[in-house]
Amino acid sequence: MLNFFQGATPAYKNLTPAQFSAALRQPGAVLLDVRRPDEFAGGHLPGAVNIDVTAPDFAQRVAALDKTKPTYVYCRSGARSANAAGQLTKSGFAHVSNLLGGVLDWPEKLVR
């Protein structure tokens, strides 16, 4: 059964910080920070919406987003956002991308 999961390609894209930054420039892109609110308050990417992936109402809150718009997800290191990206694609989001390395690898200035 473990072999079934090996080699499975995620339904979302993993993007380097440079690719992520370039992709965010497209019109209608939704930027989703899935960290805790205290982490978000400490600094986030400009224009980001904060919905904590570990919160019990995560699925309900993201259901209110437009599933047809390109959605870009990030967290601190890329692990929680990969989890969130998987949940989004399973929920019917068409275009989901995850920031590899999270804000730890983000070269641009964060806003508060």
* Per-residue pLDDT tens over the stretch 13-49: 999 999 999 999 989 999 999 999 999 999 999 999 9
- pLDDT at residue 26, as a whole number: 87
Range of the domain at 89: 13-105
**The pTM is what?**
0.90
Residue 99 is encoded by which pair of tokens? Answer: 């920031």
| 5 pLDDT more than 70 | no
Q: Which residue numbers are catalytic?
A: 75
Task: Identify whether 7 is part of a domain.
Answer: no
Task: Identify whether 8 is part of a domain.
Answer: no
End-to-end CA distance of the chain: 45
Residue 4 is encoded by which pair of tokens? Answer: 């079934």
| 6 pLDDT more than 60 | no
Residue 68's alpha-carbon distances to 46, 92, 96, in angstroms, are: 21, 9, 10
Task: Identify whether 6 is part of a domain.
Answer: no
